[in-house]
Amino acid sequence: AAGAENIPVNVVDRPALSSFVMPAIVDRGAIVVGISSGGASPVLARRVRAEIEILLPHGLGALAQFAHKFRSAVRATFADFETRLRFWENFFDGPLAEAVLQGGEMQARSEMLALINRAQLPPAGELTVLEVDPLEADLLTLRDVRRIARADLLIHGGAIVPAILDHARRDAVRIELAPHDTKIEIVTTAHLRAGKRIVQLMARGQTAHAALSAV
């Protein structure tokens, strides 16, 4: 009857009788995450929701609103997209963002204004070497996942499984390192001088590449 009247219908745990599915929601104010199994397994969707609830700080929505208030000022201060992107990445990784998450928005506001007014550019590029289990993506720490996700250049050996590499941004440059690659030092030096973040993934117990050790 409801279908004949074009009224959406949701029957709990009965996807065949439903015209739409209600996802499990993680609500952090301005940040909302929906998790749905398409009705295939609502219990599993709720379990995934519980895990995401643990990962996302309760102050995340306040942090999003805080950043929104300064978007125009940052855009006016930093002309090109790449510099703005780097500014925001450093902000979200830094102590000001942590202060907002902990409820210290008022103090963080004045410090944020000072940061923008100084037109403080991001620091020089950085090279991070991560030792990982090349076959087990589930053994990555949250810190390692964040570092891979922030990388502009990802250097890895052929033994690293795709599930680990997939944590990198889609626009990140990926280089599979050959044992006697002599050009990698030139590439990494250029990226570091441009202020880029480089992550080298090494299998545990593997010896660092000689050219990268010299950077």
At 20-39, the pLDDT tens digits run 777 888 999 999 999 988 77
What tokens appear for 214 in the block?
């010299």
Q: Confirm if 153 and 212 have CB atoms less than 8 A apart.
A: no
Q: Answer with the residue of higher pLDDT: 119 or 134.
A: 134
CA 76 to chain centre: 25
Q: Confirm if 133 and 201 have CB atoms less than 8 A apart.
A: no
Q: Where are the alpha helices (DSSP H) in 140-183?
A: 142-150, 162-165
Domains of the chain: 15-55 (3.30.160.110), 60-117 (1.10.8), 126-213 (3.40.1010.10)
Mean pLDDT (whole number) for 127-133: 91
Pairing of strands 126-132, 31-35: unpaired
Cα–Cα distance for residue pair 108/92, rounded to 1 Å: 12
Count CB neighbours of 126 within 10 A. Answer: 15
